[in-house]
Amino acid sequence: MEKWDLIIIGAGAAGLAAGIYASRSGLKTLVLEEKLAGGAASDAPLVENYPGFIQISGAELAEKMVSHCKKTGVVIHDLEAVTTLDLKSEPKKVKTLRSEYAATAVIIATGAHYREIGVKGEKEFRGRGVSYCGVCDGPFFKGKKVVVAGGGNTACATALYLSNLVAEVLIVHRRDAFRAEEVLVRDLKSKGNVKIFWNTEIQEIKGDRTVKSVVLRNAKTTAISEVAVDGVFVQIGESANSALAKEGGVELDETGSIKIDMHQRTNLSGVYAAGDVTNYPVKQIGAAVGQGITAALEAYAYIKRPYYRK
Ligand code: NAP
């Protein structure tokens, strides 16, 4: 069994930042990623609030983080999903679809997945008009009419991105105000091809081979209407990817996020968590980077027990 000082699960902003700090501290570090390294940041149309970059696409920022991490000597295994964690043994055991590894410490940085609205037609038309990623699927809807569900930063950023590609964007939000940053809302309202449906929810997604329409319900008037659209972008927040951690004995909060203290420690000794999988309230690339750094330095102290910590 390959033995590592530190195994980081997840190669998003948190995992990559942790990797950079761990490797530079001298830890033999492996990052396991079930998809391709880069994480959720890769899906962001445009990042305008990561210090040092006035404007950068999420994909480019993620790519820079991945190559930086590799340059420091971290080994990243893409497309290697972790299947089981034994986090209470010494060393800890991490089993994947391909192999089994041992590590003195583990950082869980598995991120989050997009929430579903849970209406009729959503599952049926997923990949056939229903999408959770504007950057990935937006180009398929060039010149068409799409609806974006949600009222947070993700929904507004996606709507803005799509407004430059498609003929018309409808935003359906269940309340009468967005919770997104002012700058995004201002830009969105200046777009001539964006229409906002306040106090409205999608009740059903209809179609034949692909999406053809959405049924909307206005919460105030209870009026029901059916609007013809070609695509539906569901952008209503995230839920932590914490099932694996839970099976390994890591404690979660009531929303399913990993409970951490200010040192990114979980309830298990030598096990840390960072980024969107945790219950840290700020979900930002910069915040994930900060958590990854803290987790790596704490893992270093746990593994090496340097003289100044004794
Ligand atoms: P979010 O901030 O949690 O917002 C989710 C939105 O979806 C809210 O407007 C919410 O409505 C609505 N919603 C939730 N459940 C719903 C349901 N079942 N049906 C209909 N609408 C529903 O999620 P997010 O926008 O994905 O952002 C996630 C995190 O990433 C946030 O912390 C955000 O700040 C961050 N983020 C930041 C940036 C940036 O800095 N530019 C970009 C993307 C994401 P209510 O408003 O009524 O609750």
CA of 269 to the centre of ligand 1 (A): 33
Instruction: Read off the pLDDT of residues 86-139 as tens digits, 9 standing for 90 and up.
Output: 999 999 999 999 999 999 999 999 999 999 999 999 999 999 999 999 998 999
Pocket test for ligand 1, best of 153, 233, 234 (most atoms within 8 A of CB): 153
Q: Whose CA is nearest to atom 2 of ligand 1?
A: 152
The pLDDT-based confidence of 305 (bands split at 50, 70, 90) is confident
Which of 305, 297, 289, 307 minimizes the C-alpha distance to 263? 297
CA of 201 to the centre of ligand 1 (A): 14
Check whether residue 221 and residue 258 sit in a common domain: no
CA of 2 to the centre of ligand 1 (A): 41
Check whether residue 109 and residue 254 sit in a common domain: yes
Residue 301 has pLDDT above 60, yes or no: yes
Structural domain count of the chain: 2
Instruction: Read off the pLDDT of residues 205-247 as tens digits, 9 standing for 90 and up.
Output: 999 999 999 999 999 999 999 999 999 999 999 999 999 999 9
Check whether residue 56 and residue 135 sit in a common domain: no
Check whether residue 152 and residue 202 sit in a common domain: yes
Query: Quick check: is 82 in a domain?
Result: yes
Query: Quick check: is 264 in a domain?
Result: yes
Residue 72 has pLDDT above 80, yes or no: yes
Query: Quick check: is 309 in a domain?
Result: no
What's residue 309's pLDDT?
55
Residue tagged active-site, from 133, 156, 230, 276: 133
Query: Quick check: is 310 in a domain?
Result: no
Check whether residue 121 and residue 230 sit in a common domain: yes
CA of 28 to the centre of ligand 1 (A): 37
Which of 246, 276, 209, 230 minimizes the C-alpha distance to 43? 276
The pLDDT-based confidence of 286 (bands split at 50, 70, 90) is very high
Q: Is 137 a catalytic residue?
A: yes
Residues with CB under 6 A from ligand 1: 49, 117, 149-155, 157, 174-175, 179, 181, 201, 235-238, 283-284
pTM: 0.89
Check whether residue 249 and residue 108 sit in a common domain: yes
- Decide which of 234, 259, 286 is a domain's last residue: 234
Query: Quick check: is 182 in a domain?
Result: yes
**Identity of the amino acid at 200:** T
Range of the domain at 281: 2-113+238-304
Check whether residue 155 and residue 229 sit in a common domain: yes
Which atom belonging to ligand 1 lies closest to the Cα atom of 235?
26
Check whether residue 147 and residue 175 sit in a common domain: yes
Q: How far apart are CA 198 and CA 136, in angstroms?
A: 26
Number of neighbours of residue 146 by Cβ within 10 angstroms: 29
CA of 238 to the centre of ligand 1 (A): 8
The pLDDT-based confidence of 307 (bands split at 50, 70, 90) is low
CA of 179 to the centre of ligand 1 (A): 7
Query: Quick check: is 83 in a domain?
Result: yes
Check whether residue 259 and residue 287 sit in a common domain: yes
Q: Is 136 a catalytic residue?
A: yes
Instruction: Read off the pLDDT of residues 164-194 as tens digits, 9 standing for 90 and up.
Output: 999 999 999 999 999 999 999 999 999 999 9
Query: Quick check: is 43 in a domain?
Result: yes
Which atom belonging to ligand 1 lies closest to the Cα atom of 48?
41
- Decide which of 234, 260, 287 is a domain's last residue: 234
Q: What percent of the chain has pLDDT over 70?
A: 98
Query: Quick check: is 94 in a domain?
Result: yes
Give Dmax over CA atoms of the chain in angstroms.
69
Check whether residue 200 and residue 211 sit in a common domain: yes
Check whether residue 88 and residue 166 sit in a common domain: no
Q: Whose CA is nearest to atom 17 of ligand 1?
A: 117
Q: Whose CA is nearest to atom 31 of ligand 1?
A: 283
For the chain, what is the HEC assignment?
Answer: CEEEEEEEECCCHHHHHHHHHHHHCCCCEEEECCCCCCCHHHHCCCECCCCCCCCECHHHHHHHHHHHHHHCCCEEECCCCEEEEECCCCCEEEEECCCEEEEEEEEECCCEEECCCCCECCCCCECCCEECCHHHHHHHHCCCEEEEECCCHHHHHHHHHHHCCCCEEEEECCCCCCCCCHHHHHHHHCCCCEEEECCEEEEEEEECCCEEEEEEEECCCCCEEEEECCEEEECCCEEECCHHHHHCCCCECCCCCECCCCCCECCCCCEEECHHHECCCCCCHHHHHHHHHHHHHHHHHHHHCCHHHC
Check whether residue 103 and residue 125 sit in a common domain: no
Look up the CATH number of the domain holding residue 224: 3.50.50.60
- Decide which of 185, 214, 234 is a domain's last residue: 234
Q: Is 156 a catalytic residue?
A: no
Residue tagged active-site, from 136, 176, 253, 261: 136
Residue 59 has pLDDT above 70, yes or no: yes
